Amino acid sequence: MPPAHPFDDDKLREECGVFGVVGVTDAANFVALGLHALQHRGQEAGGIVTHDAETGFNQARRMGLVRDNFTSADTMQILPGTIGIGHVRYSTAGSKGQTAIRDVQPFFGEFSMGGAAIAHNGNITNAMSLRRELIERGSIFQSSSDSECIIHLMARSMGRTIPDRMEEALRKVEGAFSIVAMTRTKLIGCRDPLGVRPLVLGKIGDGWALASETCALDIIGAEFVREIKPGEMVVITAEKGVESHFPFRPNRARFCIFEHVYFSRPDSILGGRSVYETRENIGRELAKEAPVDADLVCPVPDSGTPAAIGYSLQSGIPYAMGIIRNQYMGRTFIEPTEQIRNMGVRLKLNVNRALIKGKRVILVDDSVVRGTTSRKIKEMILDAGAAEVHFRIASPPTAWPCFYGVDTPQREKLLAATMSEEEMQTHLGVDSLKFISLDGLYRAVGEAKGRDKNAPAYCDACFSGEYPVAPSDMIEQGFQAKTAAE
């Protein structure tokens, strides 16, 4: 299945989104709405599991978008119940960019004390070794997903309850995980001890909701209560409400800083901060660090927009929509000829020629990964008659792959892994190129003194190469992690 935007291969792919509710009528409808709000986190496939007293567990897993699969009355009628969880997926690096229906979550397992379903956002960095061990002991895997390891570990646990079994299973797991799970009556949420991926708690009437982001609570009219803490497990029932446990050894939190830069929706709240305001602050910091004389500040739509606004406000250079995005460029676009394929990014973006002609333009984007799209956009701007093109990037150079649930190219395919900033400027053919510094990014997200090199407040491995959890499976395959001396 093609990516959501066939010509946009120069972005880090969103990882996954999870959502769950308990104590509401027609839970599946709430889950579908929540997943729709989280669609930016995964567009390849989605699934919903519910439980009803009469029909038991019910599930539907589909390839494609939520709006195309979970809006018909026929589909929603097979998902009755007052409790349900769901998942939207984009396949991560380990799956080689392809999703099969067998890999679509939530996964379901039947245990001695009853059934349970689980949906996972993140990546298990020791999944290969766990999988080998489980297969040697007789487990039979139905998918290629690392998340299925959790179900098998739960099956081998001797815990008396499903939450007990989940705790035991997750203690054997390394990496990043935000999980929503369900039994017949319980909604369960859990974050890894570092809290790399987000998970929030909401209240809707007499019921409760768990979601990857607050924007998914907004769409169902739920009240945001709080974030699930790093290393916390919550067990929620309609009768007793929220029970909190901390099954893991305490650790210093390392939330993914790229959630602030790109992954999360700008209308979400992370760590008590508006994502939109944080991105605007990033633009302001970028303008302080990398000023340039120009006539217009233009975002690369849509992810560069808040940072471009911040850059404009800080610099005093007018903001303008110099590039217009075709909002109807969908995943089903067919490429009938080589000529159309060569049009590339022009099928998605078009330059506002009357605005650009003769102007010195600052283009603000959230990141540069391979650099392919950046070169095409630069060519479009120059073809439209721009006098100068200056790139300003609202994140530091992405020089290291992510192993915590983000589909990142191999390191040698990351432009910043093989080129200096000056070499990248020459490669892209722009008049200037500047990235925000890592300290500047930290200041923008609220760390006034910048990054503490001895105790960074975030996971920034994609920029620094310092992995808070060793990517043991990848190291086993020969990946050279950064040493302390570097």
The better pLDDT of the pair 302, 222 is held by 222
Average pLDDT of the residues in 190-209 = 97
Q: Which residue has tokens 């567990």?
A: 57
- Look at residue 440 in the predicted model and tell me its pLDDT: 98
- Look at residue 335 in the predicted model and tell me its pLDDT: 44
Tens-digit pLDDT profile for residues 136-190: 999 999 999 999 999 999 999 999 999 999 999 999 999 999 999 999 999 999 9
Give residues with Cβ within 8 angstroms of 40, minimum separation 6. Answer: 14, 17, 263, 265
Alpha-helical regions (H) of 98-213: 127-136, 148-156, 162-170
Is 93's pLDDT higher than 60? no
Tens-digit pLDDT profile for residues 401-443: 999 988 777 898 899 999 999 999 999 999 999 999 999 999 9
Complete domains list, the chain, with CATH = 16-253 (3.60.20.10), 278-325+337-447 (3.40.50.2020)
- Look at residue 7 in the predicted model and tell me its pLDDT: 39
- Element (DSSP H or E) covering residue 242: strand 241-245
Average pLDDT of the residues in 256-280 = 96
Question: Residue 235 in contact with residue 190, Cβ under 8 Å?
Answer: no
pTM: 0.91
Kindly write down the DSSP assignment for every residue of 3-30, as one continuous string. Answer: -SSTT--SSPBP-EEEEEEES-TTHHHH
Kindly write down the DSSP assignment for every residue of 348-416, as one continuous string. Answer: TEEE-HHHHTT-EEEEEES--SSSHHHHHHHHHHHHTT-SEEEEEESS----S---SS-B---GGGSHH
Burial call 379-418: b when 16+ CB within 10 Å, e when fewer: bbbbebebebbbbbbbbbbbbbbbbbbbbbbeeeebbbbe
Amino acid at 56: G
- 163: closest CA among 193, 186, 146? 186
Residues identified as active-site: 16
Is 11's pLDDT higher than 90? no
Question: Residue 228 in contact with residue 189, Cβ under 8 Å?
Answer: yes
Question: Residue 121 in contact with residue 86, Cβ under 8 Å?
Answer: no
How is residue 131 annotated by DSSP?
A: H
Is 455's pLDDT higher than 60? yes
Tens-digit pLDDT profile for residues 113-146: 999 999 999 999 999 999 999 999 999 999 999 9
